[in-house]
Amino acid sequence: MEMNSTFLPSNSVEYCYQNLTRSCIRVSRSSNGKTVLYCVLVMIMLTNVLGNLVVIASISHFKQLHSPHNLLVLSLATADLLLGLLVLPFSMIRTVETCWYFGPDICRTHSSVDLFFCTVSIFHLGFIAVDRYFAVCDSLRYSSKMNNKVISYIILTGWILAAIYSYGSIHSKSNDEGLLSTVPMMACEGSCLLLFNKLWSIVDILTFVLPCSAMVVIYARIYSVAKSQARKIQNMDIKSQTTEESQAGKKRKLEQKAAKTLGIVMGAFLACWVPYFTTTVVDAFYNYQTPAVIFDGFIWLAYTNSAFNPLIYGFFYPGFRKALRIIITCRIFHNDSSLFKLYAE
């Protein structure tokens, strides 16, 4: 990342700490510019927090949503919510003010927590893809393969591996070893950069490429099987001549619905994360030439995936839309609301 540090104060330049000779340069922004930027980033945070809270409340409260698949969605929403509550406020201030005012210790903690929750989120997206594969492609044995016990072990494994990777790399300082002379911004006061050297940039991108590749292959297979199943059901209805035209029309739409849903899932995931991971690995091998404002934009684009997740993995599945209406209308406070039927089984 191309940034400059300063060592001698100058009246024409703004600094994060005016009284320190080794203060980082502070990018000057107008009051209107800051206001607009704060509003945009606050909206991203609110979407993240409110959306994931609805998913967590829905799955936790309504008994009909107590399923192995939704246990994965619940864990994903928890990771995304914690990212929105614990990481994004500090990242927002750093982005708008272009300085880090919370000290080096909190900076390293923030970076490790940031990497931790993002890695957990990516892992869970891969887990959900595997779960959907067994649900569609091996439906007869799905309940035995993906029960609550198995899902719980998978979730625990995902959180533990993400913790080992994020806290191990950040707090051991192995991720940015040797970068002090390459990136002068790391030596000045008021900076908080999460950068990776060549070795760890490759390790970091593998945490994205492996789950992403698995998701692409799995969702392609799911779509193919769903398409075949929809065609078989339609043919059976036509041969038996017992299906009304309206029902036949719904059957024909299954294929389009599957394609649309899977397209949204993969499209949002790739659009949010590919720019960040691509820049991370390219920068490590080309002396960190990406301008700070562009790199920061890619970071926030990746953050938005945690705001999209509750919309995609929550509200695109049966029952969540009705659960949202029940929550908004306060019917969730009825004594028997946990037993409400949210969708036809």
Question: Is residue 126, in this structure, part of any structural domain at all?
Answer: yes
Question: Is residue 15, in this structure, part of any structural domain at all?
Answer: no
**pLDDT > 90 fraction of the chain, expressed in percent and rounded:** 38
CATH number for position 332: 1.20.1070.10
Place 177 in a pLDDT band, splitting at 50, 70 and 90.
Answer: confident
Alpha-carbon distance of 115 to 280, in angstroms, equals: 13
HSE toward the beta carbon, residue 286, CA cutoff 13 A: 10
In which residue are the tokens 């201030």 written? 93
Alpha-carbon distance of 211 to 206, in angstroms, equals: 8
Please tell me which residue, 88 or 246, carries the higher pLDDT value: 88
Place 305 in a pLDDT band, splitting at 50, 70 and 90.
Answer: very high
Tell me if residue 64 falls in helix, strand or coil: helix
Question: Is residue 196, in this structure, part of any structural domain at all?
Answer: yes
Alpha-carbon distance of 79 to 205, in angstroms, equals: 20
Bridge-partner residues for 5, per DSSP? Answer: 24
Exposed e or buried b for every residue in 83-103, given b needs 16+ CB within 10 A? bbeebbebbbbbbbbbbbeee
* Domain assignment of residue 306, given as a range: 31-212+256-339
Question: Is residue 247, in this structure, part of any structural domain at all?
Answer: no
Question: Is residue 43, in this structure, part of any structural domain at all?
Answer: yes
Q: What is the pLDDT of residues 14-57, one digit of tens each?
A: 889 888 888 888 888 889 999 999 999 999 999 999 999 999 99
Choice among 156-170, 264-278, 307-321 with the minimum mean pLDDT: 307-321
Alpha-carbon distance of 158 to 121, in angstroms, equals: 9
Q: Residue 254: pLDDT above 70?
A: no
Question: CB of 219 within 8 A of CB of 53?
Answer: no
Question: Is residue 229, in this structure, part of any structural domain at all?
Answer: no
Identity of residue 270: L
Alpha-carbon distance of 330 to 337, in angstroms, equals: 10
Alpha-carbon distance of 141 to 277, in angstroms, equals: 36
Q: Using alpha carbons, select from 257, 263, 262, 265 the residue that is nearest to residue 310.
A: 265
Alpha-carbon distance of 36 to 203, in angstroms, equals: 36
Identity of residue 253: K
Total domains, the chain = 1
Please tell me which residue, 187 or 72, carries the higher pLDDT value: 72
Tell me if residue 290 falls in helix, strand or coil: coil
Place 258 in a pLDDT band, splitting at 50, 70 and 90.
Answer: low
Question: Is residue 232, in this structure, part of any structural domain at all?
Answer: no
pLDDT of residue 94: 94
Backbone phi, psi, residue 62, to 5° = -85, 120
Q: Residue 251: pLDDT above 60?
A: no
CB atoms within 10 A of CB 44: 18
CA torsion, ordered 35, 41, 42, 45, to nearest 10 deg: -170
Place 256 in a pLDDT band, splitting at 50, 70 and 90.
Answer: low
Q: Residue 5: pLDDT above 60?
A: no
Estimate the crossing angle of helix 198-240 against helix 104-137, to 10 degrees.
30
HSE toward the beta carbon, residue 251, CA cutoff 13 A: 17
Structure tokens at 62: 């309504």
Q: What is the mean pLDDT of residues 157-178?
A: 88
pLDDT of residue 7: 40
Identity of residue 211: P
Structure tokens at 10: 């100058």
Question: Is residue 185, in this structure, part of any structural domain at all?
Answer: yes
pLDDT of residue 12: 65
